[in-house]
Amino acid sequence: MFTTGLNAYKPASGNYDFNQDVLRAYNLVIDLRFNEAYTLLNQIKKAEPYNLATLIVEDYIDFLALMISEDKTLFRKLEANKDIRFSKIDKYGPASDPYHLFIKAEINMHWAAIDFRFGNYISCATGAIKAYKQLVRNNEKFPGFTPNMKNLGLIHVLVGSIPTAFKSGFSFFTGIDASIDLGMRELNSVIKYAENKPFIFKEETRILHAFIQLHINNEPELAWELLNKEKIDFDSQPLLAFIYANAAHHCKKNDACINILENRTYPNKYFALPLSYLTLGRAKLNRLDKDANIPIEKFLREYKGVTYRKEASLLLFWYYSIYSNPAKRDQYYKSVITEGNTKSESDQAALQELKNHKTFMPALIKSRLLYDGGYSGRAMAELFKVKSQIKANTALDLEYKYRFARILQQMNDTEAALKAYQTVFTIGKNQPEYFACNAALQMALIYEKSNKFEFAKSYFNQCLLLNPVTYKNSLHGKAKAGLIRLNSR
């Protein structure tokens, strides 16, 4: 199924024609209808044997199939395709076309991401640097070639989010120097370009822009607004349904997340996306739905990869703790320890949750889950139920105070939240849990929103001084991104 090829004879010269048929094939790929995409691509190659634009569309199939499935057997089957495609581009591709280096860089970026997914970190770094250098060279040769800015913008935003103290060393070894502001300007130029000219990666660029607003610039409402500028048919686009549902989850729009994914079934013509079951199950658990376990257990049955298995098992441990099934609860307690690996931060955190928590109080679990879903009133009600019990349990007192502060912030009671966070920070800064570290981060974000930049900078730095056993990377990453925002003002 996953094969490539041009006609056996050598053409005088190839070309990169992103015509309507190629666009249709690309759209089929984005819809995860890979078999239909390959049928159309083969028809295009028969009619247009010199059109090398088909190679990047085929590479998108490999990229999505491997990133979604994390299937090692499939990886071994597909990994030779990268060099096969490069060989054809080098043999037939016109170097005078701006798409020549652009497509080579795009393929290198795909496989850098794939290598990272499968733990091949040296290959990942090598591929990413190679892609960047190809993009820079292409930009020098064709300075007016706006599509080049899609990937340059993404790289510049990601590198720009590296803290100043490390950026000079990173730039020295990689040759990459950048800023978030530069990357955002480049992505915006592509979005404007695509408004008036045909661009196959228009939708991809729009989504990248929204996710940078969400995860780098800490602007969830803006991100959600940008995503919803275009109407999406979720019944026929499972990948976009998954992407939008995850965005809704991070934007605390839990009901929207559930509505996007629930009761949608996709026939076999679509490539399977079991990660959507985990997203749906997590969202339903955030609402304390009694059937939340069903999609999470389906994810564990159908997913071929090892990432997120500990996270999913922890969610089921919480579910069966809340709904009083000791046998199932103990089963998933063991699964958190034995299943999957700890390469992702969510899996690391799942394992540490069990190691550090000797006591699990169902009301605190419920409050945490409801908060994550954005249900502030229900979350606070669960805390009040156990207020008297917590006073007699010093092991859970810090978590109680932390959950209380988080809910106050979500309810926009900023002054009370700051006082509660300060208490958490003072009590918890010498403890292994992440509560004090995130309290410092949240105080910094509140002060940043209030234009009290010196206070914000102080608490971002306080966050970076703490080293919790869970969520350290993401908390420190957000603090570093905050300091970069402040320093660029």
Class of CATH domain 231-356: mainly alpha
Confidence of residue 6 (pLDDT cuts 50, 70, 90): very low
Q: 210 CB contacts (<8 Å, ≥6 apart)?
A: 223, 224, 226, 227, 247
Name which of 397, 26, 447 is nearest 201 in CA terms: 26
Segments of the chain assigned to CATH 1.25.40.10: 231-356
pLDDT of 358 above 70: no
What is the structure's pLDDT at 1?
41
- In this prediction, residues 139-159 reach a mean pLDDT of 88
pLDDT digits (tens, 9 = 90+) for 47-72: 999 999 999 999 999 999 999 999 99
Rg (CA), the chain: 24
pLDDT at 487: 84
Q: Residue 83 pLDDT > 90, yes or no? A: yes
- Whether the per-residue pLDDT at 28 is higher than 80: the answer is yes
Say whether domain 20-228 belongs to CATH 1.25.40: yes
**pLDDT value of residue 9:** 45
Average pLDDT (258-287) is 96
**Which pLDDT does position 47 carry in this prediction?**
96
b/e per residue 402-420 (b: at least 16 CB within 10 A): bbbbbbbbbeeeeeebbeb
What value does the mean pLDDT of the chain take?
90
Count of residues for the chain?
Answer: 489
131 contacts 105 by C-beta, under 8 angstroms: yes
Structure confidence at residue 175 (pLDDT)? 57
Question: Per-residue pLDDT for 266 more than 50?
Answer: yes
Closest listed residue to residue 178, CA positions, set 199, 201, 152: 152
pLDDT for position 176 = 64
Q: Where does the pLDDT of residue 345 fall: very low under 50, low under 70, confident under 90, or very high at 90 and above? A: confident
The mean per-residue pLDDT over the stretch 145-166 comes to: 77
* pTM for the structure as a whole: 0.88
Q: Say if residue 443's pLDDT is above 80.
A: yes
HEC readout, the chain: CCCCCCCCCCCCCCECCCCHHHHHHHHHHHCCCHHHHHHHHHHHHHHCCCECHHHHHHHHHHHHHHHHHCCHHHHHHHCCHHHHHHHHHHHHCCCCCCHHHHHHHHHHHHHHHHHHHCCCHHHHHHHHHHHHHHHHHHHHHCCCCCCHHHHHHHHHHHHHCCCHHHHHHHHHHHCCCCCHHHHHHHHHHHHHHHHHCCCCCHHHHHHHHHHHHHHCCCCHHHHHHHHCCCCCCCCCCHHHHHHHHHHHHHCCCHHHHHHHHCCCCCCCCCCCCCHHHHHHHHHHHHCCCCCCHHHHHHHHHHCCCCCCHHHHHHHHHHHHHHCCCHHHHHHHHHHHHHCCCCCCHHHHHHHHHHHHCCCCCHHHHHHHHHHHCCCHHHHHHHHHHCHHHHHCCHHHHHHHHHHHHHHHHHCCCHHHHHHHHHHHHHHHCCCCCCHHHHHHHHHHHHHHHCCCHHHHHHHHHHHHHCCCCCCHHHHHHHHHHHHHHHHCC
Look at the alpha carbons of 120, 125, 127, 131 in this order and tell me if their dihedral is positive or negative.
Answer: positive
Query: Is the predicted pLDDT of residue 438 greater than 80, yes or no?
Result: yes
Q: Which residue has the higher pLDDT, 472 or 168?
A: 472
